Structure 1
Amino acid sequence: MKKTFYVIASIAIVAGAYLWAFGVPDAFAPGVGSEAPVSQAPAGPGGPGGPGGGGATTVVLAPLEMQPFEDSFRAIGNSEAVRSATVTSDVSGRTVSVDLTANAEVSQGDVLVRLDARAATLSLETAQSELEQASATVARYERLQQSGNSTITDVTLSEARLALRLAEANVGQAELALEDRTIRAPISGRLGLSDVNVGDYLTANDPIITIDDSSALLVEFELPERSVGFLSLGRDVTLETPSLTGRFFQGEIVSFDSRIDEVTRSVTVRARVANPDGTLWPGMTFTARLSNLSEPLLVVPATAITWSRDGASVWYEDEGHAQSIPVTILHRRDENVWLDADLPAGTMVIIEGAHKLRQGAAVTDANAEPQQPDQESK
């Protein structure tokens, strides 16, 4: 008896699970066998939306517009002065005077540091004395030879002239050594910070101070590979810096690399921005924006594009009927698509409802104002 109960319970559980999953079979549904009239829509060319159908498909139309496409590239870059120099000493020596005021404007050739020049001065005086003696010797030998003195041969006179040229060279070297004891500004610009003071001993090639010519800045940044078609010398670049929020500066491209970086797949670009009032400082971070505005192109909402095995296409309205034409998508941005198509501007394009259309189907604009029926005279 218990076994029979288990069998009946198992059958009931299986039947309940079947009904819960699939519902009541049609054979056991109420009303089975009764004939119910079924309303069928006419099919084929006479159906709704067909070329000769009894009703038009409601769609949303919009005119095909012409707009240029603005392609923009943004990049972060660092700036440097259009000209800069690090002043160093060519010789060793102890400083005897210093004029290195930070942020002071200097002109090219201004004296910045003087080194102890006593030894160089003495060397110049010695060289000048030797030059005077060599010059006097040559003049005396020439007079003697002209007077017919046979003791002054051509060889003797030639050796004296050689000694004169060597003495002149020694004077030039001594003058250069003395000049090296005076350190001058190599360019005009603004001085940086320096730790050099009077009494410090400098060795050759020791850095003394930096000078920046900030009348203009060079901003270097990286652009992606696809921007190379827009790069040209003199092209405008819009620059902004977080140091001066809300201000924009116009620069121009002055140089760019001749190859694409193998790792980053980008190209290095340098833009020059004028800085006559000194507002911008070398080392500032800039955001560079390079824009390219195309010729006016056909533009439609993205919802107007339909896809098939043959590619992209759009539907347009022609005398109340839908027609499809293939298109080439050139650009996408937000909700709009710029394309190349054999359609004139102003053509009414179907932007909603195109998915239910067939070629030549009758269409009506959902936004069109309904026509008022004519009032029959009674």
Structure 2
Amino acid sequence: MPVRSLPLLALLFFAVGCSSNAPPPTNDATAEDASPPDQITLTDAARSELTITTVTVEERPITSHLSLPARVLPEANQQAYVTSLISGRVDALHVGVGAQVEQGQVLAEVTAPGLSQRVAALRQARDELDRQQRLQERGVGLTKNLTAAERDWAMARQELRSIGVRADRIERVARGEEDLSTLPMEAPISGTVLDRMAVLGSPVDEGMELFYVVDLHPIRVVADVFERNLDQVREGQEVTVQTPVNPDRAYQGTIAQLVPQVDTERRAVSARIRLSNSDGSLRPGMFATVRVAITGAAEPALPADAIMTDERGTYVIVEEGNNTYRRQDVDAPADAEGTVVVRELAPGTNVVMDGGFQIMSAIDNQQA
């Protein structure tokens, strides 16, 4: 609540009234007639000494904020595990936790029994297919032999595809342009390595997860909307997201989806918010708070700057007309900002914005 100081002119006005050399003050110095408690009617002369501005109480929709507990999660289609599709041993590790990787980048290499035999069978099948195709071009080849060569080539390729070797690499290996003494473990997506389960030299079983890679741009925030608040939240609503790690930073987003099912344990519906997270400051596993702006019904309201406070509580100075002003206690927080509801006042009531403390001082002086 802003603190307003008594203008020098008003201070002098009251100081002169209390001087030992001045005649005893009378109510006529500031008021025309005796006024009820907490009310004063100023003379025209006294009114002219004060700078008073007023604001009118208006009915307006009041915006409040609903705070929802939330957590930061990766997008479902932007996370992947790097899994070994064959048993073997970790022969080389190329990245660690936190590394930025590109799709197709080799993260580790696994030595697998029988890999060399599969490569040999692939190259043999490729050579035989090439030979049968050349014979066909010269018109001396048999169709059944070409068909058999094509079948063997497809089977040899599938043997390597089944353990995770990409089709373009298989073609290069078949033509001898690339070696395949170890099985490369490649990143299925671009992103950040959040976990590495592989240990150099350790055995690997078929289906074992070696790395966990997540694309953090964008990222998802999932908030719990409890049953009692379901009628206040909808898809497309703008929200503000904050985290305990950086409470002064606010991320702006919208509710992309409300899951159409209540979690039976939390008694809440999940609201999903997608944030760009361009700087990577939001990380999976973080807790967050989602604030949703809720616009309520129209109520009598004032700018918070019109609210004053003293030892008796919060109040405003109401302008009654004909230079008459009165104190009106209101149920409003002393540290309110923006717009506050004042149910004690009717719409159309004029309330003092500037000059209120001078008027209240005159009221107190009158009652002294």
For normalisation by structure 2, the TM-score amounts to: 0.56
Match of 1:165 in 2: 150
Matched, 1:73 2:72: no
Contact 2:195 / 2:213 at 8 angstroms: preserved in 1? Answer: no
Contact 2:59 / 2:299 at 8 angstroms: preserved in 1? Answer: yes
User: 1:185, 1:231 → 2: CA distance?
Assistant: 39
- How far residue 263 of structure 1 moved from its aligned partner, in angstroms, is 6.4
Picking from 95, 102, 108, the partner of 1:100 is 95
The gaps in structure 1 that reach 5 residues or longer are: 1-57, 146-151, 301-331, 339-343, 349-368, 370-378
Contact 1:121 / 1:178 at 8 angstroms: preserved in 2? Answer: no
- How far residue 250 of structure 1 moved from its aligned partner, in angstroms, is 1.8
User: 1:289, 1:259 → 2: CA distance?
Assistant: 21
SS in 2 for 1:74: strand
What is the letter of the counterpart of residue 165 of structure 2?
E
User: 1:184, 1:166 → 2: CA distance?
Assistant: 28
1:312-323 alignment, distance < 5 Å:
none
- How far residue 160 of structure 1 moved from its aligned partner, in angstroms, is 2.2
Match of 2:52 in 1: none
Match of 1:87 in 2: 82
Assess, with a 3 A threshold, how the Cα gap between structure 1 residues 286 and 167 changes in structure 2: closer, same or farther: same
1:224-263 alignment, distance < 5 Å:
224-225=226-227, 227-261=229-263
Contact 2:86 / 2:112 at 8 angstroms: preserved in 1? Answer: no
User: 2:155, 2:259 → 1: CA distance?
Assistant: 47
SS in 2 for 1:136: helix
User: 1:252, 1:215 → 2: CA distance?
Assistant: 16
What is the letter of the counterpart of residue 166 of structure 1?
R
- How far residue 257 of structure 1 moved from its aligned partner, in angstroms, is 0.8
Matched, 1:127 2:122: yes
User: 1:134, 1:216 → 2: CA distance?
Assistant: 47
SS in 1 for 2:292: strand
Give the number of equivalent residue pairs. Answer: 258
What is the letter of the counterpart of residue 275 of structure 1?
N
Assess, with a 3 A threshold, how the Cα gap between structure 1 residues 117 and 71 changes in structure 2: closer, same or farther: same
Match of 1:274 in 2: 276
- How far residue 271 of structure 1 moved from its aligned partner, in angstroms, is 1.3
Contact 2:90 / 2:111 at 8 angstroms: preserved in 1? Answer: yes
Picking from 289, 292, 305, the partner of 1:287 is 289
Match of 2:22 in 1: none
Assess, with a 3 A threshold, how the Cα gap between structure 1 residues 282 and 333 changes in structure 2: closer, same or farther: farther
- How far residue 107 of structure 1 moved from its aligned partner, in angstroms, is 1.3
User: 1:263, 1:175 → 2: CA distance?
Assistant: 45
Contact 2:72 / 2:282 at 8 angstroms: preserved in 1? Answer: no
User: 2:293, 2:204 → 1: CA distance?
Assistant: 51
SS in 2 for 1:122: helix
User: 1:222, 1:333 → 2: CA distance?
Assistant: 30
- How far residue 110 of structure 1 moved from its aligned partner, in angstroms, is 0.9
* Structure with max Cα Rg: 1
Assess, with a 3 A threshold, how the Cα gap between structure 1 residues 277 and 133 changes in structure 2: closer, same or farther: closer
Assess, with a 3 A threshold, how the Cα gap between structure 1 residues 122 and 291 changes in structure 2: closer, same or farther: same
SS in 2 for 1:242: coil
- How far residue 183 of structure 1 moved from its aligned partner, in angstroms, is 0.6
Contact 1:240 / 1:287 at 8 angstroms: preserved in 2? Answer: yes
- CA RMSD across the alignment: 4.4
Assess, with a 3 A threshold, how the Cα gap between structure 1 residues 70 and 178 changes in structure 2: closer, same or farther: closer
Picking from 198, 201, 219, the partner of 1:199 is 201
Query: Identity over aligned residues, as a percent?
Result: 24
Match of 1:179 in 2: 165
What is the letter of the counterpart of residue 221 of structure 1?
A
